[in-house]
Amino acid sequence: MDFKVDFYDLGKCWVEQVDMVFEYGEKLVELELQKNTKKDKLEELKAEIDLDIRSNSDKKPTEAAILSMIITNPNYQEQLSSLYELDKEYRKVKNICNVLETRRKALDGLTQLYAAGYFSSKNIEIPEEIKTKTQEEQHAQLKDGNTKRRLKRAMV
């Protein structure tokens, strides 16, 4: 997906914005659930290793010794590494959500500038293909984008 804002097609950008926020919001929720589940499983594994150490030891081990044995356990290390990878992915998607919020603010500001006539200034160079688009073509393009978005949501 492209996070850039097209100054000459703000309507399309707003439609894309809604779709992207929905998509990455869903991903964020799913990753958070996976991350919490992985943390719970890691705690469960830690408790199992702790119990195994305490029940199979001749002498009563110290808490520090038990913790060291848990941390160095290969299975625990593997699960911990997996949790770190999942957390990394979660933070990436969270960052994308922050970028989308910044993009929304930029779109809001640009829309206000457009409504105030800022882009009608002679200082702004408008590409020829935008100048030649008729109002009907612009409405048709927006309608087509809305139809595609509705179809995409209906499939979900």
Mean pLDDT of the 134-156 span: 65
* Total domains present in the chain: 1
In a domain, 70, yes or no: yes
In a domain, 20, yes or no: yes
Share of the chain above pLDDT 70, in %: 78
54 φ, ψ (degrees, to nearest 5): -65, -40
Mean pLDDT of the 53-62 span: 89
In a domain, 105, yes or no: yes
Domain residues for the domain of 53 are 10-126
Tokens 């894309």 belong to which residue? Answer: 16
Burial 86-107 (b: 16+ CB within 10 A, else e): beeebeebeebeeebeebbeeb
pLDDT by residue (tens digit) across 5-20?
887 788 888 999 999 9
Q: Which residue has the higher pLDDT, 28 or 126?
A: 28
In a domain, 38, yes or no: yes
**Phi-psi bin for 5: left (phi > 0), alpha (psi -120 to 50), beta?**
beta
Tokens 């097209």 belong to which residue? Answer: 6
In a domain, 145, yes or no: no
Contact yes or no for 83/35 (Cβ under 8 A): yes
In a domain, 113, yes or no: yes
d(CA 138, CA 12): 10
In a domain, 135, yes or no: no
